[in-house]
Structures are given as C-alpha cells and as structure tokens.
Amino acid sequence: MASKAFAVLEQEAGLAASLTGRDLCSITDLTPAEVAGILELAHKVKAKPSDYRHALDAKQMVMFFEKSSLRTRLTFEAAINTVGGSAIFVDQTQSPLGERESLGDIARNLERWVSLIVLRTYAHETITEMAQYASVPVINALSDLEHPCQALADFMTLEERFGSLKGFRFAYVGDGNNVCHSLMLTAAQLGAHCTIGTPKNYAPKADIVAQARAIANITGSDITLVNDPVAAVTGADAIYTDVCTSMGFEHEATKRAPIFKSYQVNETLMAYAAPHAVFMHCLPAHRNAEVTDAVLDGPQSVVFDQAENRMHAQKALMLMLLGGAKQVK
Ligand code: CP
Ligand code: NVA
C-alpha cells in the first residue's frame, strides 16, 4: 500500500545505489556482482510481487522499437505497470530512430518527460549513442549485437532449476548472433562454462569472445568455440538455440538453411546432453527448422519459463536502475 512506510533492505541498498541512473546497453555494463544482484532481486520479485507494487509509482518509460516484438514489449509493459509506473510505446518499424531528428535531440526531449528509455534497434550504436546523450537510463531491448534482457531472464531460469551456476555447462548451437553474444558474456559473469557450436563463418564476434574470455578468467569458467554440434552439446546441462536468420538478415534465409541443417536441436542431439539437461530458446522459434516440435514441446523444454522470467528479470532491472529496489514494503 502506498501509505505504508518503506524500509531499506540493507543487503540490496548498496547495489541499488550503485546501479541507480545507469544504462544497460551491453550486459558487460554490469559487473558479475551486479548481474548476480539483479537476478537475486528478480527471484524475490517473482516470489512476492506485491512487495514492489508501488516501488516505481508514477515513473514513465518510453519504448522505441525498430523491429517486431511480442515478449519484450509486453513483458516490459507488464513489468512497469505492476510496480506503479506506465509505458509509452512508439512503433519505429517504418523508419530508423534518428532519421527525422538527431538522436541527441531526441534524448534531450525524452529526458524531460520520462524516467527510462527502452530501445530495440538494428544498429547497436543507436542505443549507445542515445545512452551517451540521455540523462535517464537507457535499456537495450535487442540490437544487432546483444540482447542483455534476454540473457538475464535465461540465467534466472537456470538458477531456478539448478541453483548456483558456478561450473554449470551451458551449450549454445546455431548462429553466433546477438542472443549468443549476451548469453556467452552472462555465462562468463556467473562462472558457468559455455560452449558455442556454430558453422564456420557464423561464430560469435571475436571481440565479444575475447571479452567473455577475459571475464571467464576472473570467474573461473571456460568459453569454448567449436563447429561440431555434437561436440558442443555433449554432457551439457542446458542446450540453447535461436533462429538461424535474425531480424535484418531475412534476405539470407535461403542461403543459411542448408548451412544450419545439422545444427538443428532434435531428440538425437538432445540425447548427447546430460540426462537432466534443459532445452532453451529465446523465442520466437521457427518450428522444425532450428528446433523440432518434439524438443520445443518436450519435457526438457523450459522456453515458457524463460518467457515468463523476462517480466520478472526486467522488473528487477528497472527497480535497480530507477532506484526502486531500495524500497520494499
Ligand atoms: N525473445 C524475444 O525478445 O522475443 P520478442 O522478439 O517477441 O520480443
Ligand atoms: N536473434 C533473434 C532474436 C529475436 C528475439 C533476432 O535478432 O531476430
């Protein structure tokens, strides 16, 4: 209730203070401790959402999306609505952000009206440039380079199932894309081993791999790149895949289909993983392309837990960036 006093939770106060006002363009904008802290809060928010019902009262968030979305748009909207704030959605699919007016001028307008800017773009630089100009936090809701909010929800999902992820064996097969980048970096931050299996020429970007390995050196995990899908998933605790053709690459779909055929996650490939392994996908899936119906709808699939956790993880993220995490009923 709004009238009840809010108490500061000692253990979260320091982290919340350090995150207040920050941006999330890349998952590496966060330290490993900050990622762990956001996930810890996400679990609490999920367990007791009513505690946070008024934590962001009257805060406004604006979302500019250059690409389609189901999950990201709706989970951000549901998240802010249920902590007392509200969302304004701007469909930017017909023209890129910055075409009509410079990003700097847009930022200097937005910061006068809203507390948070959420962007889904083609160019990652659109997000970093907006963050540079805007005095309010900017969140990457997917760019051509990263999808950090997805990774937060995905590792939250794994923590729910497996507890601490130190030494966890995470495997990703398919395109070394935006989702792959954020997953690899987050695995390193949480001390999970990460093996990526991609076709030649579709590996994750070398500078992101180098960043992940630098983090992994500190947290004690291994980042391994292979081309053989069986080698990638053998003994894994989780197998993750994404579409072969991301938004913006649709013109390559016909060329890519045969290249990615042997990377399909089907029951044969799943059988190489640990018996307790889960199957993960950010969705939307191209059914019977990168994953078969049998796996996607099968008992090992946690894809809808991932989708649900987008909302809880983003709620925790917003609470941290907007200072609401300090306030618990
Ligand atoms: N996983 C994900 O980001 O889904 P949407 O593209 O529907 O937002
Ligand atoms: N890699 C995909 C993820 C969609 C959520 C894309 O960028 O289209």
Is the pLDDT score of 255 beyond 50?
yes
Is 306 a residue of the active site?
no
> Could you read off the pLDDT of 278-308 as tens digits, one per residue?
999 999 999 999 999 999 999 999 999 999 9
> Could you read off the pLDDT of 28-75 as tens digits, one per residue?
999 999 999 999 999 999 999 999 999 999 999 999 999 999 999 999
> Could you read off the pLDDT of 198-246 as tens digits, one per residue?
999 999 999 999 999 999 999 999 999 999 999 999 999 999 999 999 9
- Expressed in angstroms and rounded, the spacing between residue 248 Cα and the centre of ligand 2 is 9
Is 57 a residue of the active site?
no
pLDDT band at 6 (very low <50, low <70, confident <90, very high): very low
- CATH class, 150-307 region: alpha beta
- Expressed in angstroms and rounded, the spacing between residue 67 Cα and the centre of ligand 1 is 10
Q: Which residues contact 210 (CB under 8 A, 6 or more apart)?
A: none
> Which residues does residue 64 pair with via DSSP β-bridges, in sequence order?
90, 119
CATH of domain 11-146+310-327: 3.40.50.1370
- Expressed in angstroms and rounded, the spacing between residue 247 Cα and the centre of ligand 2 is 6
Strands 60-65 and 86-91: parallel
Q: Which residues contact 204 (CB under 8 A, 6 or more apart)?
A: 176, 177, 180, 181, 184, 196, 198, 225
Q: Which residues contact 96 (CB under 8 A, 6 or more apart)?
A: 66, 121, 122, 123, 126
Amino acid at 121: T
- Of 183, 186, 207, the C-alpha closest to 196 is 183
What does the pLDDT average to over 11-31?
A: 89
What does the pLDDT average to over 6-15?
A: 57
Give yes or no on whether 11-146+310-327 and 150-307 have one common fold: yes
Q: How high is the pLDDT of residue 113? A: 98
Q: How high is the pLDDT of residue 328? A: 59
Is the pLDDT score of 327 beyond 90?
no
> Could you read off the pLDDT of 98-128 as tens digits, one per residue?
999 999 999 999 999 999 999 999 999 999 9
Burial of 31 (0-12, 13-18, 19+ CB in 10 A): middle
Q: How high is the pLDDT of residue 4? A: 33
Amino acid at 246: S
Please report, in angstroms and rounded to a whole number, the separation of the first and last CA atoms in the chain: 8
Is the pLDDT score of 189 beyond 70?
yes
Chain position carrying tokens 């076709």: 199
CB 141 within 8 A of CB 90: no
Instruction: Please identify which of the residues 54, 194, 282, 312 carries the catalytic annotation.
Output: 282
Is the pLDDT score of 177 beyond 50?
yes
- Of 60, 58, 57, the C-alpha closest to 114 is 60
Q: How far apart are CA 104 and CA 124, in angstroms?
A: 15
| Sequence ranges of the domains in the chain | 11-146+310-327, 150-307
Please identify, by atom number, the ligand 2 atom nearest to the C-alpha of residue 175: 1
What is the share, in percent, of the chain residues with pLDDT greater than 90? 93
- Of 242, 220, 219, 256, the C-alpha closest to 171 is 242
Peptide bond preceding 199 in cis form (omega within 30 of 0): no
Task: Kindly report the protein residue whose alpha carbon is nearest to atom 1 of ligand 1.
Answer: 282
Residue 71: nearest ligand to its CA?
1
